[in-house]
Amino acid sequence: MNYNKKSIEDIEVAGKRVLCRCDFNVPTKDGKITSDKRIVAAMPTIEYLVNKGAKVILCSHMGKPKGEWKPELSLQVVAKRISELLGKEVVMATDVAGEDSKAKAAALRDGDVMLLENTRYIKGETKNDPELSKALADLADIFVNDAFGTAHRAHSSTAGVADYLPAVSGYLVQKEVSIMGKALANPERPFVAILGGAKVSDKLNVINNLLEKVDTLIIGGGMAYTFLAAQGYSVGKSLVDNEKLDYCKEMLAKAEAKGVKLLLPADTAIAPAFPDPIDGEISVDYVDCTAIPADQMGLDIGPKACAAFAAAAKAAKTVVWNGPMGVFENPTLAKGTIAVAQALADSDAVTIVGGGDSAAACEQLGFANAITHISTGGGASLEFLEGLELPGIACLQDK
């Protein structure tokens, strides 16, 4: 995939109607936004378009209405918040690409901003329906994709509309593509990848793809116990993906053949059972991963593993991290994840954190400013690491 894509700065937007796909899928409670992080992240692109005199037509999905008009998933609260941040009114359309949207888009003056209703109110959105794509394109002269979180989806508002309009990236997508694209295509070495999370099956293709690119692959989280079991160790009651034991053996052999260092945890935090509730009090012991008792389960990496993983990150020039090292939601079992986040924050390397739990960990711990790049898309960043072509990126014009 070509990562060298045109951005809003490579195209003339003054006086043009610009359809800008953002990620306004924000959490709400009782009709109020509980975190406006995604809206704030989209503001540099919106402000650039406004300041350049574009007629800005914003669109996004929220939640999973599945083609039904659900008032609790209306983007009206988003329009209100953007208005506050911009210091000017954002006109709210009552439909997605219908008569109201057309009328309001036609009435826009240079520098005006409007927001369409939730794109997933229309059934054709997730099916990439050409009729909806064409109707959205008819509202505008240019398409800007600034929603990396949905770039792995071929939907009408993320990819289909680019069949009818010149398409470029906004600042958020540009940053994701340039930093993550360079890390995968031409990384500064040593290149270290750290993978965590529960199941091997969630990251099959990521592991396989990264073994082609990295110097060291570190595996923690629940996945590690399947790899340890594949090496013949007894892992007690730890999470094991029995159907993936042969795959793990193949990956261990592949790493050896390619001269890639594959690091598994040396020790682990153990307890008799998974914490219930997940954040409840729990008492743990630490043992070597080669000596997990039959009645215990591994729930986090231990201090030896923390030190080894941190040392590998410190020696690297590029580090990519996706997935927690243990049951991060529990304070006792978050130590491994915290140690990795701290190691990345202390590193002089280019550090990239995939979305989801790893990103949340860095933000909660106050390390976000010390990380080169925290991805805004969980699923999209995983598919990026798999080496897959993302429809919402592939549709943009090459430089």
Residue type for position 295? D
- Look up 38 and say whether it is catalytic: yes
Q: What is the Cα–Cα distance from 260 to 253, expressed in whole angstroms? A: 10
Residue 344's nearest CA partner among 373, 386, 375 is 373
Main-chain dihedrals φ then ψ at residue 222, nearest 5 degrees? -60, -30
User: Which residue in the block uniquely carries the two structure tokens 């940053």?
Assistant: 175
Cis (ω within 30 of 0) for the bond into 277? Answer: yes
Containing H/E element for 84?
Answer: helix 76-86
**Given the residues 127, 182, 199, 249, the one annotated as active site:** 199
Active site residue: 302, 356, 378, 392, which one?
Answer: 356
Measure the CA–CA gap between 379 and 355, rounded to whole angstroms. Answer: 8
Tokens of 366: 């106050």
Pick the catalytic residue from 17, 38, 104, 203.
38
Q: d(Cα 286, Cα 303) in Å, to the nearest integer? A: 8
189 has catalytic annotation: no
Write out the DSSP string of 107-163: T--TT-EEE---GGGSTTTTTT-HHHHHHHHTT-SEEEE--GGGTTS--TTTTGGGG
The answer to whether 72 and 94 are in contact (CB under 8 A) is no
**Which residue type, as a one-letter code, is found at position 105?**
A
Known active-site residue 356: yes
Catalytic position from the list 98, 111, 379, 387: 379
**Reduced to 3 states, what is the DSSP secondary structure of residue 394?**
helix
- Let me know if 120 is a catalytic residue: no
Q: What is the C-alpha to C-alpha distance for residues 275 and 292, in angstroms, rounded to an integer?
A: 18
How many beta carbons lie within 10 A of that of residue 301, not counting itself?
32
Question: Which residues have a catalytic role annotated?
Answer: 38, 199, 356, 379
